[in-house]
Structure 1
Amino acid sequence: MEKQPNNPLHGITLAVVVERLADHYGWEELAARIPINCFKSSPSVKSSLKFLRRTDWAREKVERLYIRTFK
């Protein structure tokens, strides 16, 4: 397995990122920080993952928030 010393998210799955952010902020606060429908309307980890895996710009915002919050 190749190491990635410059990648702070190496080894952390998108599911873990979404779950930790949702647990930390709650869906309402998460939607206020990143206003995307998967956080606003009937939010769930499953629906968020489906959207974020297809939408690079939204995934980047979520990953940046995770890094700022937990690193």
Structure 2
Amino acid sequence: MTKQQPNNPLHGITLEKVVTSLVDHYGWEKLAQRIDINCFKSNPSVKSSLKFLRKTDWARAKVESLYLSTFDNPSPWGR
């Protein structure tokens, strides 16, 4: 059974999609400037970033926050 999470804006969005979207939007260099973690600076890859972010809650929270502020800007006129 799947639980509904109406108050979770990231419900149904994988961490891989979050990282991939941010890399596509900013690129590794600018992403590393925004979030200062080594997995974005030293030989970055989606795979290594996912491995680190799944283990490190504070870093994952920063990445998810940046994703929401970058891509989830609802307007009163719709999307």
TM category (shorter chain) comes to: over 0.9
Larger Rg: 2
| Aligned residue pairs, count | 71
* TM-score of the superposed pair, with normalisation by structure 2: 0.89
Partner of 2:59: 58
* TM-score of the superposed pair, with normalisation by structure 1: 0.99
Q: Distance in 1 between matches of 2:29 and 2:70?
A: 16
Amino acid at match of 2:36: P
Task: Report runs of 4+ in structure 1 exceeding 6 Å deviation.
Answer: none
Which structure 1 segments of 5+ residues have no match? none
Partner of 1:10: 11
Q: Which has the higher helix share?
A: 1
Which structure 2 segments of 5+ residues have no match? 73-79
- Aligned identity (percent) is 75
